[in-house]
Amino acid sequence: MTDKKSICSKLGIVFIALVCLASFTDCTRRKLLKDEPNTGKVKIKRRFQSQNAEFHYLNCKSKIEYTDGLENVQSQANIRIRKDSVIWVSVNPALGIEVVRCLINQDSVFIINKLQKQYYSFSFKELSELLNFEVNYALVQSILFGNPPYMEIDQDSAISDSTYTILQQKRKNIFIENFLRNHNQKLEKITMKDENTYNTLDINYENFLPIENILFAFSNRISLNYRNKKGLQNIYIGIQHNKIEATNKDLRFPFNIPARYERK
C-alpha cells in the first residue's frame, strides 16, 4: 500500500469510510413497486427528502473504532460540519490530547499528524484517481448526514418488500442500493459496488434519535472491502455519536499547518 493509501486508511479514519464503495444485496424475493412509474418515483423521492438531514451547522462528539486486521484503534473525536462547505474532524485518543486533525472542503482533503509533525493534502481529483472511484464533497457530506448520495432518481428503479423500499441506482460503474425502512421512512443502509474493480462498501445506520424533528442515526457501521497488490483487504469503522447538536450559530473550523511540519 502506498503512503497516500496508508494515510487515507489510518489517519483519515472517518474520511476513508466515506469515499470508497459498497456491497450488493440479494433481492430475488422482493416485488416490483406496483405504482405507475412516474407516480411511484415521486412518492419515493418525497419519502427520502422528508427525512433528509438539512442542518446548516452540525457539532458532534463521537467515538470512532477502526480495524483493518492488523490494527485496532478506538478514539474520541469531535466532528463539525458547515453544510455544503466544510467538514472538520479532531481525533483525541486520550486525555484530550489531539493527535490528528482533518479538514475537508469542496476541493480538497487536508490531514495533520501532530505526533509525527507531518501533514497530507489531496485534491478530490487525486483521491478519485487513487481509489479508482469518483469522490467529491457532496458524496462525503451526504453519507455523514445519512442522506442518499444521489437524489436524482428519474432513471432509477425501486423495489419493495414488507420491511424496506429499496432505491437502486447506477452512476457510471457504481451500482448503489438505498434501503428505506417503511415504518419510519429512514434510510438504514447504503450499499455500493464498483463493477470494474469489485470494491465494495456497506454502510449501516442505527440508533435513530430525534434532532430538530428529524430522526438522526447516532450509530454508523461501515465495512470496506478493496483489492490491492497484497490481495483482498477489509476495513471496519464504527462511529458512535455521544452528542449531536444542530445549530445556526457559527462554528469554528481552526486549521493551521505549522511551518515546521513536513508535507508527505
pLDDT tens digit string along 212-257? 777 788 998 888 887 777 778 888 888 899 999 988 888 999 999 9
Number of domains in the chain: 1
Residue 35 has pLDDT above 80, yes or no: no
- Which domain does 150 fall in, by range? 3-263
Phi, psi of 41 (to 5 degrees): -70, -35
Amino acid, res. 202: D
Phi, psi of 42 (to 5 degrees): -60, -45
Q: What is the pLDDT, as a whole number, of residue 102?
A: 92
Per-residue pLDDT reduced to its tens digit, 117-174? 999 898 988 877 766 566 788 878 877 777 776 666 656 677 888 888 888 888 888 8
Q: What is the pLDDT, as a whole number, of residue 36?
A: 36
| pLDDT band at residue 62 using 50, 70 and 90 as cut-offs | very high
Sign of CA dihedral 219, 65, 108, 22: negative
Compute the average pLDDT of residues 52-61: 79
Its pTM stands at 0.75
Q: In the predicted model, what is the mean pLDDT of the chain?
A: 76
Q: 47: phi > 0 → left, psi -120 to 50 → alpha, else beta; which?
A: alpha
CATH code of the domain in which 47 resides? 2.50.20.10
Q: Taking each helix axis from N to C terminus, what angle separates 124-131 and 3-10, rounded to the nearest 10 degrees?
A: 100
Q: What is the pLDDT, as a whole number, of residue 224?
A: 83
Compute the average pLDDT of residues 77-87: 91
Per-residue pLDDT reduced to its tens digit, 159-212? 888 888 888 888 888 888 989 888 877 889 999 888 888 888 898 999 988 887
**How far apart are the C-alpha atoms of 237 and 206, rounded to whole Å?**
14
Q: What is the pLDDT, as a whole number, of residue 126?
A: 85
| pLDDT band at residue 17 using 50, 70 and 90 as cut-offs | very low
Strand, helix or coil for residue 2 = coil
**How far apart are the C-alpha atoms of 166 and 263, rounded to whole Å?**
44
